Amino acid sequence: MRARNRWGWGFEDAAISTAEIRAAAPGIMQLFGFGATEPEEPAPFDPAALPAPRLAGPPHLNGVCTGDPAIRAAHARGQSYLDTVNGLRGRFEHAPDVVARPRDEREVEAVLEWAGAVNAAVVPYGGGTSVVGGVEPRVPDRFDGVVTLDLGALDAVRDIDAVSRAARIGAGASGPRLEEQLAPHGLTLRFFPQSFELSTLGGWIATRAGGHFATHLTHIDDLVESVRAIGPAGYWVSRRLPGSGAGPSPDRLLLGSEGILGVITEAWVRVRPRPAHRAGRAVRFDSFLGGAEAVRALAQSELEPANCRLIDALEAAQTGAGDGSHALLALGFESADHRVEPWLDRALQICREHGGAWDEDGGSGGALGSWREAFLRMPYVRDMLVRLGVLTDTIESAVTWERFPAFHAAVTGAVEEALGAPCRVTCRLTHVYPDGAAPYFTVLAPARRGDEAAQWHTMKQAAGRAILDAGGTITHHHGVGRDHRPWYDAQRPDAFAAALRAAKHALDPAGLLNPGVLIDP
């Protein structure tokens, strides 16, 4: 098994080495105008840095529960910017007392029963990829301990319905693991978030995640047929159906629940044949907002491109996909059934009508290839930038088309004002709809080493206020967690908050499951 990076993203054997970082540092300083030439070295793991455990697993859960310091440390954080800074420096302000790794639903139930008996909070871990504090074991003082629940062993594709094109899959299956099991059947879930190599099916459902594809069935919501979960109040199993008008959907209450209503153990999801036909182009636009008008026309054309990501000129330059003089649209179509060139031809005609231009060989290599490679490596690059003293974070939202130009200016301006010069804010449209888009901002600035938390909070407060004031949502696909709570509270209707608290009380009367996320007990 590949070893996970103990302080940053991904796997140790894929991390960017110190020698590679030193070689890249001068170019980064030239590109950004800031950064260090010598990377900060990760602090060696010191078990003494962990808070002393308050609980130990019970004898009847031997083989399921562990208090091993290295395993506790590995489950003490997610993948936010502050998580990465703290991991780099070997700091563990919060850590689970026990990590439980059940092998079946019976053991999940046993862990929940024991946690309730000892007044321990339970934090479902998924793949540990939350960038919003969703898996951080930061819980109220009223609990006598924290148990992190890791469902990585529940990762099997348990059943496949080839007639209806659906599969029953364990919630602990990571993206590569579930695709590996679907591949012999010629099937795919077609769900590829940037966190694909680590994040899990259960985590996608719990956070209402968005996949890589820009239009049509891009949210995990669109792919779920039914969900099975376990909580303190018992099992939750929804009927497997293609659709239903029988009252509010049980699945939709669990989708986005972030572990507060139950522990998702498996789901039936819609799968499809693997695509055999692909076509794409990299389309250049003189301005980002001009490109956005073309994207709006594409989204409203009903062509439903698989990829329709608009990248501003600065991000295109940073990823090697452009020279910084044009915004770039990564446009692509795919199908398992038919050739897609006619759809691409019509899409390019729309782009031309909005001032777009492209090279005829731009589909398989060139700008698209450079951008794709940079996209897949971006989490590892983020770790490199943190080591070079760069504050790097992402902010995603969604907003309707008529508000987009003002929204883009407001969020960019708020972040730049909060961080001061020098600061770089790039934007891309990751997902598009007939009525709006998902702007995804990347923030880069010189980090105030030793004071990163205060610097980040200042930026985050400014961005959150600007997003809501300009009519957007605080999150499009990253979830709420603990970091987005203030703006989620402001965004949702009060009556809905009361209903959610009532559901929480009915399903988790003692408030054990992921306390502090979405609502207060």
Q: What is the CA radius of gyration of the chain?
A: 23
Domains and CATH numbers, the chain: 40-149 (3.30.43.10), 157-273 (3.30.465.10), 277-469 (3.40.462.40)
Integer angstrom CA distances of residue 169 from 228, 232, 492:
10, 22, 32
126: helix, strand or coil: coil
Report the distance separating Cα 388 and Cα 409, nearest Å.
29
Q: What is the pLDDT of residue 375?
A: 74
- Return mean pLDDT, the chain: 95
pTM of the shown model: 0.95
The pLDDT-based confidence of 521 (bands split at 50, 70, 90) is low
Inform me whether the pLDDT recorded for 364 exceeds 70.
Answer: no
CA angle 292, 349, 328 (to 5 degrees): 40
CA distance 431 to 215: 6
* Least confident among 97-106, 298-307, 315-324, 504-513: 315-324
List pLDDT tens digits, range 192-218. Answer: 999 999 999 999 999 999 998 889 888
Report the distance separating Cα 56 and Cα 96, nearest Å. Answer: 11
Please answer whether residues 207 and 78 qualify as being in contact, where contact means their C-beta atoms are separated by less than 8 angstroms: no
Give the residue among 329, 333, 403, 420 at the shortest CA–CA distance from 368: 329
List the single range of 190-194, 345-349, 442-446, 508-512 with lowest mean pLDDT: 190-194
Give buried/exposed letters for 330-346 (b at 16+ CB in 10 A, else e): bbbbbbeeeebeebbee
